[in-house]
Amino acid sequence: MRGSKYAYSDPWIRLRIDKVIRSNGLKGVYSVAEIKGGIGVVPVAYDKKIVIVGQYRYAPDVYSWEIPKGAFSKFGSKEDPLVTAKRELEEETGITAGKWQKITMVHTLLGSANDKVYLFLARDLKLGKPHPEKTETINIRRVSFKMFFEMVKKEEITDATSIVAVALAEKLL
């Protein structure tokens, strides 16, 4: 890399433009969407049903059913992903969990973004009252693994992070 500059920045995303020398020696530019990174949680109840959340997603203009997810508080955050996962699960669903297991970390948009999402399995669930952010209108639903994947087939669930997380969580149970 020969230098970079930010073309845009807000609390959620930054667009960085890098001047690069490619592996073949040609000079060029590479645009990178910097995203704060975050977590995704697969909450599994005692009856093996998954808690999913539904909300409108502006960018693709769709209503999305997905696992509870959230971003780190700031760019370059050193916050433990598990701390973020616990906070986001309780915020979006009111649920706390007695057992936590890290599933893995995934890059969500390898070709154009630096986003990293840490995935967790949460069990031994206790219900409480959700307290979503003012910008969020969230619905909560419980579905079986079978129903989740039927919703994927029908394209009612299209969030790649959720699909990967639930598939891996099912293998762990």
Tens digit of each residue's pLDDT (9 = 90 or more) over 54-106: 999 999 999 999 999 999 999 989 999 999 999 999 999 999 999 999 999 99
The verdict on 155 and 104 lying in the same domain is yes
Same domain, 27 and 52: no
Whether 55 and 123 map to the same domain: the answer is yes
Is residue 10 located within the same domain as residue 85?
no
- Contacts within 8 Å (CB) and 24+ apart, 169-172: 169/42, 169/44, 169/50, 169/103, 169/119, 169/121, 170/145, 172/101, 172/103, 172/121
- Map tokens 């996962």 to a residue: 85
> Tell me, what's the pLDDT at 35?
94
Q: What's the domain count of the chain?
A: 2
Give the SS3 label for residue 149. helix
For residue range 119-167, what is the model confidence (pLDDT) as tens digits? Answer: 999 999 999 998 877 887 899 999 999 999 999 999 999 999 999 999 9
Pairing of strands 13-21, 27-35: antiparallel
The one-letter amino acid code at 96 reads T
Q: Please tell me the pTM assigned to this model.
A: 0.92
> How does the average pLDDT of the chain come out, rounded?
94
H-type alpha helices, 105-159: 145-153
* Mean pLDDT score, 30-49: 96
What is the pLDDT confidence band of residue 31, given thresholds at 50, 70 and 90? very high
CB atoms < 10 A from the CB of 55, how many?
16
The per-residue pLDDT for 132 is 78
Q: What is the CATH number of the domain that holds 137?
A: 3.90.79.10
Task: Please determine, for residue 2, whether its predicted confidence score (pLDDT) is greater than 80.
Answer: no
Indicate whether 27 and 84 sit together in one domain.
no
Domain of residue 22 covers 3-33
